[in-house]
């Protein structure tokens, strides 16, 4: 099997020749630039550069020698407008807080204040994001539309710019013509539940209970824009993507954010309509949702909306034990993640502990397909490179 066939077989619950692997393809299976630089040094890969394609999470673009060494089967399309509204045009040198040399977009022009904090500032002078002095990541500062209580009649999701569509099209055509990788397309969608409440989440949660008519009006307007943008996206990339990915976090460490009843009645129907719209235009594409936290009690409802792949499979959260997930949902959804826990084992354990957990997860999740090996969310700064190698070497050694 080639990489694409391997991934599709796993998603369709057929047994592949080996468990497919995602190393760093998406914005939720990625690796922080400092950890990536350390990994390259550990592997003895001196060519290339550490390019930060996602300034919000400080994620590194995976280069071909690293992708091949780690055995990854997946790539993802990037948007021309990167995280936090900074377009990925040109490159220039920069340094992380610990002095690690990286390259960033030529359009990245942070403003530093007297305390050494860095700010990304919009064209209107408004501060969009902040990195505290000595920090590793940016924090968002702008309220989401729901938290800001925008007027649905006056608000809309902007259409994807033509230059971004061409950028996506070029990548899709390149990967399909020049590789056998499975290709992820990051959908032009907003986070209906979590993202609309950025920087005002408590107030947004109250609105979900007390202002449901308003929430439905906002959701209808959001869905209209999401579907229109998907049509543009589909026209650009066509059937040259294998996986259509969107993100929305429904869970925290201890439980879901909202009751299953509220999710079924208010939130999930809009995602079901969105997925139906996608499938009408590209029936073969696989629907991937990134959704953090404890979501066991609503995962069945998410699957009913049309979700075929769930990530990051946060097994350290309440009710998310691997055996329970596989027994309950293993025949209905593909687990993309859950291979090793970033919160504890990968970053703070020994290489042997990493190998042991990775092998346990392979034994639990891989029978009958339905598993793509990946870490649980992005690999963080300070993660020992020997642990990263141990995890992915174990996936290749025992995943077949």
pLDDT at residue number 297: 98
Low-confidence ranges of the chain (pLDDT < 50): none
Q: Over the range 114-144, which residues count as b (16 or more CB within 10 Å of their CB) and which as e?
A: eeeebbbeeeeeeebbbbeeeebbbebebbb
Residue 39 placed within a domain: no
Residue 227 placed within a domain: yes
Residue 75 placed within a domain: no
pLDDT at residue number 82: 82
Distance CA 41, CA 316 (A): 30
- Any idea what the CATH number is for the domain that residue 246 is in? 3.20.20.210
In angstroms, what is the C-alpha Rg of the chain? Answer: 20
Main-chain phi, psi angles of 105, to 5 degrees: -60, 145
Enter the DSSP assignment of 255: S
At 299-351, the pLDDT tens digits run: 999 999 999 999 999 999 999 999 999 999 999 999 999 999 998 999 999 99
Angle, helices 268-281 vs 212-237, to 10°: value is 20
Structural domain harbouring 379: 3-30+142-398
SS3 127: strand
Distance CA 393, CA 352 (A): 12
Distance CA 2, CA 45 (A): 25
At 234-254, the pLDDT tens digits run: 999 999 999 999 999 999 999
pLDDT at residue number 107: 95
Distance CA 306, CA 374 (A): 22
For 249, 291, 301, 312, the CA distances from 385, given in Å and listed in that order, are: 28, 26, 38, 21
Residue 297 placed within a domain: yes
Domain count of the fold of the chain: 1
For 17, 29, 136, 207, 345, the CA distances from 36, given in Å and listed in that order, are: 28, 13, 14, 41, 18
pLDDT at residue number 123: 84
Residue 112 placed within a domain: no
User: Dihedral of CA 40/46/47/51: which sign?
Assistant: positive
Angle, helices 296-304 vs 268-281, to 10°: value is 40
Q: Which two tokens stand for residue 264?
A: 């079924």
Residue 335 placed within a domain: yes
Q: Over the range 309-341, which residues count as b (16 or more CB within 10 Å of their CB) and which as e?
A: bbbbbbbbbbebebeebbeebbeebbbbbbbbb
Residue 97 placed within a domain: no
Residue 37 placed within a domain: no
pLDDT at residue number 81: 86
């Amino acid at each position: 099997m080639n990489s694409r066939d391997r991934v599709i077989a796993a998603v369709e619950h057929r047994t592949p020749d080996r468990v497919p692997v995602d190393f760093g393809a998406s914005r939720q299976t990625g690796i922080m630039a400092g950890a990536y630089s350390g990994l390259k040094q550990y592997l003895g890969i001196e060519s290339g550069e550490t390019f930060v394609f996602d300034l919000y999470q400080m994620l590194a673009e995976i280069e071909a020698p690293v992708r091949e060494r780690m055995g990854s089967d997946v790539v993802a399309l990037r948007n021309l407008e990167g995280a936090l509204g900074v377009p990925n045009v040109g490159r220039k040198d920069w340094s992380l807080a610990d002095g690690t040399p990286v390259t960033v977009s030529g359009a990245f022009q942070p403003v530093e204040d007297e305390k050494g904090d860095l700010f990304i500032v919009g064209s209107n002078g408004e501060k969009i994001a902040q990195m505290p002095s000595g920090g590793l990541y940016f924090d968002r500062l702008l309220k989401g539309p729901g938290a800001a209580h925008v007027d649905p009649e006056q608000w809309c999701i902007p259409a994807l710019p033509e230059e971004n569509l061409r950028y996506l099209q070029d990548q899709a055509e390149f990967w399909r013509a020049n590789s056998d990788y499975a290709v992820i397309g990051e959908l032009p969608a907003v986070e209906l539940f979590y993202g609309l409440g950025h920087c005002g989440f408590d107030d947004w949660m109250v609105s979900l209970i007390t202002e449901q008519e308003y929430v439905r009006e906002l959701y209808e307007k959001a869905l209209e824009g999401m579907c229109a943008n998907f049509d543009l996206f589909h026209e650009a990339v066509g059937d040259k993507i294998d996986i259509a990915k969107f993100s929305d976090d429904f869970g925290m460490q201890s439980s879901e954010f909202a009751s299953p009843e509220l999710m079924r009645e208010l939130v999930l129907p809009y995602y079901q309509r969105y997925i139906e719209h996608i499938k009408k235009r590209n029936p073969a594409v696989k629907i991937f949702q990134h959704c953090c936290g404890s979501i066991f009690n609503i995962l069945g409802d998410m699957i009913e909306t049309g979700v075929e792949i769930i990530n990051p499979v946060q097994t350290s959260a309440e009710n998310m034990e691997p055996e329970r997930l596989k027994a309950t949902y293993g025949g209905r959804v593909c687990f993309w993640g859950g291979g090793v826990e970033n919160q504890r084992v990968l970053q703070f354990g020994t290489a042997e502990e990493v190998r042991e957990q990775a092998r346990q997860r392979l034994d639990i999740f891989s029978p009958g397909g339905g598993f793509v090996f990946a870490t649980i969310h992005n690999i963080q700064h300070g993660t020992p490179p020997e642990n990263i190698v141990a995890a992915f070497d174990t996936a290749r050694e025992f995943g077949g």
